[in-house]
Structure 1
Amino acid sequence: MALRQPLKGHWSFFFYPAGAVTLTGSAEYAIPGRAFNLTCDVPEEASSVKFYRRPLMTQSPQTIQVTGDQCYKILDGISTLCTPDVCSCQPSTFQYASEFVLVIIPIPGDHNSLWFCRRENTNLTNPTADSTDYTLNVFEQVTSIELQNPPPPVTEFDVIDLVCVTSPCRPAASVLWSVGGLNYTSFSSSRVQGTILSFVTVSILTLQITRALHGRRVICSAYNTDDGFVFDTIQPILNVEYGPTSSIDISPSDRVHTGDEGDTLPDITCTADCRPDCTFVWTRPDNINFTVSPVLSLGQLKRSEQGNYTCIAVNNIGSSNVTYSLTVRYPPSMPAVILLPTNYWIEGEEYRVLSCIYSEGYPAPASVDWFRDGVSTGVMTSTIIIGPLRPEDNGVGYFCRVRNSFTDSKMTNLTSAILLLNLTCKYNVTLSD
């Protein structure tokens, strides 16, 4: 068993004059029931040394005496040869030694007891000399540690303090923290309370709450020997509540989609990591609630469904949203050719105007081509000017064709009916299909 140094404390250093008698222990703490050595160091040598415990000086002291080159323990007038488990000395000359060791078996009640030794040497001017007092510290095992404030449900981004307190012990115990099996001791601070009789360690773990900590077990443990760990018996599991924040997403993952009218759009599913679970609401491009569901289901696309759809995820902690942009391609309407009622005269020549009438599709604008008797005129505007009119223009057929990327992808022709010019008289132009 290796003792642990106190969390807080100090070491005392003493300076003794030359020739001073000193009494020391074999360790900082004596373990109850185990042999512990009290060593009386006598630089000027002694024929015997008496060991006293205060305030029991009225009782017979334990004496170690040098006889020849042997050491004997004398108690109540009975002399016993020293053995390693009882006493020892190191004779320096015949009948004298400079170091005397008394082996004691301490009990818990011996803690903080005062001891001193007295050397005897009749050849010295001062035949007796006492050591300074030695305080015997007796080890007390830490037996428990308790979490004082098991955490209630917490919210992401909260900062909480958890407090663990040890049982009284000597020396003061060290405290370790783990969360989810990971060492969190560096996020804690400890202080020691108590007196010379025993110490209590109070340790505070400061925890920044994240969603990753949900379901993680918090454990505090204490030790004041290398093989004497004790663990908190509560060991709570963190219950972390959090809003969707940036976890909101959709599946399929593309947030911008272009489709053709009549195509079937796969369902769009909105997801978010929330505790408690989120409610999902989809809104239409006109900002009117569309459905209280994580799933947006449009089926076959219509041109009226084009626009931005917003999924909102919300729980009692917070809300977040993601936008899905839908573009629907569709064709222009079937065109029609009309003869404008107004004629134009330029330098005595007559001109007429034909117009290709249609509604735009998407994308717009559509492309327009004019044809005369089935041959492209190269005119690509929505109107065409005919003239100067001649008799041979009678019966000529004109039509227009419109297209956009939708009709191109579908390989669809949108062609108007043919308008035939009827020039039966100079200023009479009629429409004939």
Structure 2
Amino acid sequence: MSGIFLLLLVSLLVACEGHVNLTGSTITAVAGQPFTFICGNSFRMYFQVYWTAQLLNGTSSFSVRSYVDEECRYSFNTSDIYNFTCPRDGPFTMTILDVDYRTYQNSNWTCMVVPLFDRSNTIVLDVNVPLKTISLLTPTTRVLNLTEGDPMLLVCETNPTKPPSNITWTKDEDVITAGASSSTREDGGLTVTVGRLSVEITRDFHMMRIYCVGSYEETNLRTDTILLHVDVPLVEISINSTNLPLAVTENDDVTLVCATNPTLPLSTIIWTKENQTITKDVTSTSRGKDGAVVAVSMATFTVSCGDHLSRIQCSGVYKTTRITSQSQTLFVHCVSKDETSGTTFGAGVGVGMAICLVPPLVAAAVYVLWWKRRLTMKDTTEPPESTDSAAPSRSDDVHDPNMYESMDDNARERKDTAYEELHMQVYENTVKAHRLS
């Protein structure tokens, strides 16, 4: 009879083999979070469950029994590492309260239900390690002072994770792709993700906040921000002039303009004339350009004769740097007293010359009149021709009626009408005088 009982018991155990099933609360455990094993069978017969764990440091077994009150009874000292439930109708559960990657990664778990003595399937626990921290490896996490053109290398890294995390670089909420790269390194089966940002600093980075962001599944963590302060140095200063001297006249107003290249922070401009600083009538202003500031200065002054061949320069001052522009030479034309009274002097010369010329002109006119009168008198005193063939006799009382004809042949042949009229008048006057006598 006993043999029959044993045979039935063995048959029942064989028939029930594989009906105990072990599952987990999730597919993969997460380090730092709880994980629960569930042990059940199809007969819903629970009296006692044996939990077995093959860990890296050895095998651990936990025997847990259930009674009518559904309270668990333990054959070992309980701790805050595990938690058990023992419902009468099952299934029994075992929970790891805080999964540790080093302890439970790749550990093997089974359960066996009594009285059936049926062992479950084996679960190999896979533990993921999430992103917990991301650090920016830099000497400062507040302000980074750089100069335009300087190379900048920033590095950030995550804690060891499984699977690996991702890293992106951000500049004021905008993702940076140029110069950004990432790599990984192994750390005890986990992966540390390292992000690098290697760029040449431009003025576009000025007052920008840089940080890196680590992503792991639905988790995003960001580092502290670095505020970049970019200096754009002074490299050039120009003056609105040429290499040729600036030709001006005494008392002219001259305005020169000087400007720097865009700098950060703003440069200052100083004017000098023959190494003497000009401060009067100097106006300074600025304008933005390409993310920096151009310093502009205007110097206005009145030119004097003492400025002739003097040199004017402007200098830009930026921190400890000073750059001087090319010099502008003034070529001043000074106005003399003779030039300022030129009109009066010309009039005086004209009047003086006129006064000086009057006496000679008057003398010449008197001489001409005297000569003409003398010529007339000479003509009237000549005796008339005699009808006699002998030598002509001359009478003082009688005028020669042929005086006009006795004139010089050359004089008669002249065609000067005024001259002929003049002597004709003299001739007529002589005839009239002769008749009256």
TM-score, normalised to structure 2, is 0.45
The structure in which a higher percent of residues are strand is: 1
- Where is the helix percentage greater, Structure 1 or Structure 2? 2
- Give TM-score scaled by structure 1 length: 0.45
Larger-gyration structure (1/2):
2
